[in-house]
Structure 1
Amino acid sequence: MERITYQDIPKGMFENLMTTENFINQSPLGIKLLELIRLRVAQKNGCAYCVDMHHKELKHLGESDLRLSSLCVWKETPYFTEKEEAALNLTDTLTKLSRDPLPEATFDALTPHFSKEEICYLTLAISQINTWTRLMKTFRFVPGNYQVKEAV
């Protein structure tokens, strides 16, 4: 089922992506917000492998079933904070790019909740998970087998 297996991937490719991933994870954004962003991008891009992974990571972090099942319709629910909504709006906008610049309203909604540094991290995190989803969709990694690693 996989087109490209883990063993087929050029040595260093995933390791270098993980260096960036670890940099993002150490940001002041918090892992729960990052995982919400990752799951939302996976949903938007239709990446079953990444949906499985980030759903499991969020459950491990204590995320509620209500919020998890409602993330795909987050704009229609009252379950997310204004800060999360601003981040999710940026996520949706950057995941489905248009030729137009980022709308001022999208950026302005971030500034009450995030510093310029944090907006940089958000943008990188969204770009990074978009890279991962595109790789997984191309390689066709099989969803369902991901297991959350316990913190060491």
Structure 2
Amino acid sequence: MRIPEYYGHVSPDGYRHLMNLQHYVSHCGLEPRLLDLIALRASQLNGCAFCLDLHTRYAVNDGETIQRLACIPAFREAPLYSARERAALAWTESLTRLSETHAPDDVFAEVRAVFNDKELVDLTMAISLINAWNRLGAGFSVEPGAVEV
């Protein structure tokens, strides 16, 4: 790790607020397996080894299959995902690569068609949150396996 102490110890108030949002996202009503998929896709795009390890273990614990986990980068081509999952993964890619994609209208329309207003806001919060965690994990070189599941 690049800093001498875990960032939660260095900035406990900031960490507490992220954890409060994590608690909200985990209990907002979105399916746990959907949240696992978007966490993994964002973490793949951001290259966060810690989050990839952690969320893969969470996904397996939530009943996700190895086949679906392995095919996440090819979700558009793999017939393993529902329309709702595909839309969420596309929205995840769009928001994670925001400077490149600018959240295009066609991706928004796709996600809007399968999520109600609250779900769409909660999904967007979940995507924002995993991107924040990725920046902490990758930025501070947190090693995979640093947290027990």
TM-score for both structures, normalised by structure 2? 0.92
Q: CA deviation at 1:75?
A: 1.7
Letter in 1 for 2:32: I
Shift of 1:51: 0.1
- SS of the aligned residue for 1:62 comes to coil
Residue matched to 1:127? 128
In the other structure, the counterpart of 1:75 is 76
Q: CA deviation at 1:42?
A: 0.4
Q: Which runs of 5+ in 2 are unaligned?
A: none
Contact 2:87-2:107 at 8 Å conserved across structures: yes
Separation in structure 1 between the aligned mates of residue 75 and residue 101 of structure 2, nearest angstrom: 24
Distance in 2 separating the partners of 1:98 and 1:13: 25
The aligned residue for residue 117 of structure 1 is 118
How many residues align structurally? 147
Q: Tell me which of the two structures has the higher relative contact order, counting C-alpha pairs closer than 8 angstroms and 6 or more residues apart.
A: 1
1:99 and 1:144 map into 2 onto residues whose CA distance is 31
Distance 1:34 1:138 in 2: 22
Shift in Å at residue 138 of structure 1? 1.3
Q: Say if 2:94 and 2:102, in contact at 8 Å, map to a contact too.
A: no
Q: Equivalences for 1:33-48 in 2 at 5 Å?
A: 33-48=34-49
Question: Which consecutive unaligned segments of at least 5 residues does structure 1 have?
Answer: none
The percentage of counterpart residues that share the same residue type is 36
Q: Which amino acid aligns with 1:104?
A: D
Q: Is the 8 A contact 1:52 1:146 kept in 2?
A: no
Q: Note if contact 1:56-1:147 (Cα within 8 Å) is conserved in structure 2.
A: no
1:144 shift after superposition: 2.5
CA spacing shift, 1:142–1:99, aligned 2, 3 Å: closer
> Hey, which bits of structure 1, 4+ residues long, moved more than 3 A?
none
TM-score, normalising length: structure 1: 0.90
